[in-house]
Amino acid sequence: MTKWIERHRNILDFTLASLLRRKRKNAALVSVYTLIVFLLASVLLFTYALREEASILLQQAPEMIVQKLVAGRQEPIPVAYIEQIKAVRGVSSVKPRLWGYYYDPIVGANYTLLVAEDPLINPGSIVVGEGVSRLRFVSPSDSLEFRTFQGATIELEIKKVFSSEFGVVSSDLILISADDFRRVFGTSEEYATDLAVNVRNPKELPTIALKVAELLPDTRQILREELLRTYDAIFNWRGGILLAILFGGVLAFIIFAWDKASGLSVEEKKEIGILKAIGWETSDIIRMKFWEGLVVSLSSFLMGLVLAYVHVFFTSFMLFEPVLKGWAVLYPEFKITPFIDGAQVASLFFLTVVPYAVATIIPSWRAAVVDPDSVMR
Amino acid sequence: MIELKDIRKVFNSGKPNEFAAVQGISLSIEAGKATVLKGPSGSGKTTLLSLIGCMARPTSGRIVLFDREITSLPERFLTEIRRKTFGFIFQQFNLIRGITALENAMLPAYPLGEKFSSIKKRGLHLFELFNISQKAHSKAEWLSGGEAQRVTIVRALMNNPSIIIADEPTAHLDTKLSLEFMDILEKLKEDGKTLLLASHDPLVYESKVVDRVVNVRDGRIEGAEE
């Protein structure tokens, strides 16, 4: 066993010395390789972390939302529906929600206005998301102007700016009191935007949703699971677009790496001949080439992964920010919480490291089975 | 010790450029002696050396080494014999560029699974013995012809083989260095090594170190001189 380890150690030692001999060639290879892993890993880490973050956030969302539909469009829902829904067996609470979108002509951005029960939010005061504060250059104790549905202007004082912990969803958010909301949008007291329903047993949710649908045929029921699926689809789709763009780069790299790894130069062939002539077995040479491929691909993989981690979680995905985040003027500025999917990292490993290591072995095997007397001639 | 029985080696067999480099050679080489295969270029000396050194297989005939028939052995065993029994000194030196002289010399010992430190110690000792310690850490491509020759000798001796095979060892050396090389061979012979050389250099085959000269021409033996 010790002999076996020493044999590997000695061969690895020679491999490392060999790699250092062709510094430029190998440095170029490792750089391109690292760049590819970096790009792929950045997209994968980012989309996964974003999805995880959104789904954690949505865990706090109500289990079911009931909206009123008129001609297929959402309309304010009568508050009177609350009692009817409460009467359905299994429903634990029904709360009216008031929210909407407000277009700010000054900066050309859309804000999401949401009525929240918070001691800070009294009539005349609001709490704004970090993106809003950045875009309008406002901070607590400043005021924001809103045009009401009748054309009048009201001023609301900012009490607080959100922390950016969940920036991706809350960046464009403004929390407002119910009174101010109704003043801005003209929603009457008898109506809410939609109803948030919680149930006693989540397993009964589909049944309860059916019952509500039967009871109130002009409403639709949105379950939290459906929201999660929508978020998943959106982030996957965006990640997919970027991956599609990267695909060209990846393809170019595969051709480049295949060429580098599978082609042996005359010098390399001669070296294999020398090693065989002085007593190296074919398996020793394949071992050496395997180590060589592994050192190049594994170090590139690890470097690419670490760089991607820094890029995604420390620099907030600086390079591709506009593609993947937000779809309004308000690009959220935030640091995402690191979430890593082991399976994704493993598949990236198998897609980048393994093919390269194999690509280096095949030609060496072909060269190594040749009679060593070639060096004598 | 080495018995060659009706050895033939044909290259590109069955093709228009078929060429018989060795045509039915039978030869017996004694242990502890220096034997030179003498002949012009293309006479088949180098092919014969590579057949004896287990680097290639004969097309027909048998080679017996230490009473063991080696022609039918699988590749792995041939490699092991090559590694443990033979030390090679090539005409072109065949040092690997980019690594040091010492690393080059240590290469044959790597697959043995010996501790790196003990290989290195042995290498340094041999460098000292051949008076080239100061060049141990120089890159192979920086060595002069004589230095490179000595490094290949150290490399050939690394696994302490019983037979040293040298192919045109003085081809790239001037007279002084060639004579020095023959002195080294003398020492190796005194140490009990069997020497087998291929050369058409009179400095080699006329040297007092040499016990026997075998004339090779057109892949055949012309007659042995004692």
Is some CB atom of chain B closer than 8 A to the CB atom of A375?
yes
Which one, of B71, B50, B54, B78, lies nearest residue B5 by Cα? B71
Same domain, A52 and A104: no
Is some CB atom of chain A closer than 8 A to the CB atom of B82?
yes
Which one, of A234, A105, A260, A244, lies nearest residue A168 by Cα? A234
Same domain, A31 and A103: no
Is residue A359 a part of any domain in this protein? Answer: yes
Q: Which residues of chain A have pLDDT under 70?
A: 163-170, 235, 238-239, 259-263, 321-337, 376-377
Residue B43's SS3 state is: coil
Query: In chain B, which residues have their Cβ closer than 8 Å to the Cβ of A12?
Result: none
Residue that finishes a domain, picked among A186, A219, A240: A186
Number of H helices, E strands in chain A: 12, 13
Dihedral sign (CA B183, B185, B186, B188): positive
CB pairs below 8 Å between A and B: how many? 102
Q: What is the rounded CA–CA span in Å between residue B7 and residue B188?
A: 28
Same domain, A50 and A174: no
Instruction: Specify the pTM.
Output: 0.69
Query: In chain B, which residues have their Cβ closer than 8 Å to the Cβ of A377?
Result: 46
Per DSSP bridges, beta strands B194-199 and B34-38 are parallel
Residue B190 has pLDDT above 90, yes or no: yes
> How many Cα neighbours within 13 Å face the side chain of A84?
15
**What CATH number is associated with residue A113?**
2.40.40
Is residue A40 a part of any domain in this protein? Answer: yes
Point out the residue among B99, B116, B155 whose CB comes nearest to the CB of A21: B99
Point out the residue among A276, A280, A377 whose CB comes nearest to the CB of B46: A377
Is residue A78 a part of any domain in this protein? Answer: no
Same domain, A243 and A368: yes
Is residue A163 a part of any domain in this protein? Answer: yes
The predicted pLDDT at position A194 comes to 93
Same domain, A172 and A237: no
Same domain, A239 and A323: yes
For residues B108-132, average pLDDT:
91
The predicted pLDDT at position A324 comes to 59
Q: What is the rounded CA–CA span in Å between residue B214 and residue B31?
A: 16
Is residue A42 a part of any domain in this protein? Answer: yes
Is residue A73 a part of any domain in this protein? Answer: no
At residue B43, what are phi and psi to the nearest 5 degrees? -85, -10
- Chosen for mutation from A278, A282, A371 (greatest number of chain B CBs closer than 10 Å) is A278
Query: In chain B, which residues have their Cβ closer than 8 Å to the Cβ of A22?
Result: 98
Q: Tell me the pLDDT tens digit for each residue of A63-110.
A: 899 999 999 899 999 999 999 999 999 999 999 999 999 998 888 888
At residue A288, what are phi and psi to the nearest 5 degrees? -60, -45
The predicted pLDDT at position A325 comes to 58
Asked if A11 and B103 come within 8 Å (Cβ–Cβ), the reply is no
Point out the residue among B96, B112, B119 whose CB comes nearest to the CB of A274: B96
Q: What is the rounded CA–CA span in Å between residue A199 and residue A205?
A: 7
Q: Tell me the pLDDT tens digit for each residue of A312-335.
A: 888 877 777 666 555 544 444 555
Is some CB atom of chain B closer than 8 A to the CB atom of A271?
yes
Amino acid at B212: R
Token duo for residue B209: 């170190």
At residue A207, what are phi and psi to the nearest 5 degrees? -65, -45
- The gap from C-alpha B119 to its chain's centroid, in whole angstroms, comes to 21
Residue A266: how many other CB atoms lie within 10 Å: 7
- Chosen for mutation from B51, B90, B91, B94 (greatest number of chain A CBs closer than 10 Å) is B94
Same domain, A130 and A19: no
Same domain, A246 and A360: yes
**Structural domain that includes position A168:** 99-186
Same domain, A282 and A368: yes
Determine the straight-line distance between the first and last CA of chain A, rounded to whole angstroms. Answer: 38
Number of domains in chain A: 2
Same domain, A149 and A269: no
ipTM confidence: 0.89
Same domain, A127 and A21: no
Is residue A198 a part of any domain in this protein? Answer: no
Domains with residue ranges and CATH for chain B = 32-60+83-225 (3.40.50.300)
Same domain, A262 and A366: yes
Distance from CA of B31 to the nearest CA of A (A): 21
Is residue A217 a part of any domain in this protein? Answer: no
